[in-house]
Structure 1
């Protein structure tokens, strides 16, 4: 089984969400640090981003924040994360999230998280990104999005094969298992990107 050395985690910056999401993030962060997996994330200090960073740091793991300069200027960045990449804009940030990672992990989040996930799915469909994309569907949080993707498949906006782009899991402690259970993907995917 291939070692998962580095992952990117997409997640929320909101502090006003249910405590179950913070607990799930903590569990997932512990599973990653126990595996000595480096975590890349959006660099924030609040919400699930803050919980992710705090837990990785408490567990003596390695975490890298990636954030546009303008966000640092309004003090969104986590002051205890000592490895940062500051980018010119949000587009460059999203590119950097994917550099050298073995997987992308999506936790519950808002429009920024949705947008990052959908761009990753699009890039994987085109064979530009080929690593596992795993989605933590905690208590059905992503049911509506997953149903929308199924609708896109059933109405021929996506092909049946595109279902293998993402893997859904519900137990944050099993994040590594979800990554390993993801189906292999090739950069030849461009050949069947068109439906």
Structure 2
């Protein structure tokens, strides 16, 4: 599988976040999955890429040229795709992937996750979306999404668009058992 992983570039986060990036990277490499990510060399981005490389995994980075020019890009990955802007980056990150995973992260991770959920809601992206809710990190997001359903901004069926898991070890099994979201899902894309 080709798995897009959204994650942070900050090196200042707690060790537990680096640990989940390592666990996921090792599991993906062991199972011969391809990592598609933002191309960074620092933070969780750098850690998951480093672990994939150390374990013989294939890593594809997608990064805007302005970020590469300030040397944010990982120099040792299998493949780096340079793009003109963040919009093109987000499009290429999900193009042809079999799943999207969101690790804990900042506003960039949240923005990418929000966009891919919207694309799934509109039937433009139909693959599994897995959100790692380590130690309740994404509890507020889960509450907000539930509230959107309660207030009828979304329908109950829309809760099948994503799966929250609490442990890194549960990510790959969650991808494999995610509810189907196919052409039939588009029939209820409108509220």
Q: Shared topology, TM-score over 0.5?
A: yes
Shift of 1:175: 1.6
For the pair 1:126 / 2:122, whether they are aligned, the reply is yes
Residue correspondences, number: 191
Preserved CA contact (<8 Å) 1:126 1:187: no
The 1-side partners of 2:114 and 2:170 are apart by 23
User: Counterpart in 2 of 1:173?
Assistant: 169
> 58-67 vs 172-181, which deviates more?
172-181
Tell me the equivalent position of 2:86: 90
Query: Residue 80 of structure 1: CA displacement?
Result: 1.2
1:164 is aligned to 160
What is the CA–CA distance in structure 1 between the aligned matches of 2:141 and 2:10, rounded to whole Å? 20
1:59 paired with 2:43, answer no
**Which residue is equivalent to 2:107?**
111
Which 5+ residue runs of structure 1 have no aligned equivalent?
A: none
SS in structure 1 opposite 2:3? strand
The unaligned stretches of length 5 or more in structure 2 are: none
Please tell me whether the aligned partners of residues 62 and 82 of structure 2 are also in contact (alpha carbons under 8 angstroms): yes
CA distance in 1, matches of 2:81, 2:183: 27
Q: Give the CA deviation at 1:142.
A: 0.2
Q: How far apart in 1 are the matches of 2:169 and 2:78?
A: 26
Q: Which residue of 2 aligns with 1:18?
A: 14
Q: What residue number does 2:179 align with?
A: 183
What is the rounded CA distance, in whole Å, between the counterparts of 2:73 and 2:148 in structure 1? 37
What residue number does 1:148 align with? 144
CA deviations 1:20-70 (Å, max 9, x no partner) are 000011001111111100100000011000101110001110000100111
1:30 equivalent among 8, 26, 41 = 26
Displacement after TM superposition at 1:186 (Å): 1.3
Bigger mean CA offset, 171-180 vs 125-134? 171-180
Describe how 1:41-60 pairs up with structure 2 within 5 A: 41-60=37-56
Question: Do the aligned residues in 1 keep the contact of 2:58 with 2:78 (CA within 8 Å)?
Answer: no
What TM-score do the two structures reach when normalised by structure 1? Answer: 0.96
Q: Is the 8 A contact 1:67 1:93 kept in 2?
A: yes
1:76-87 equivalences under 5 Å are 76-87=72-83
Q: Let me know the Cα RMSD of the aligned residues.
A: 0.8
Offset at 1:188?
3.8
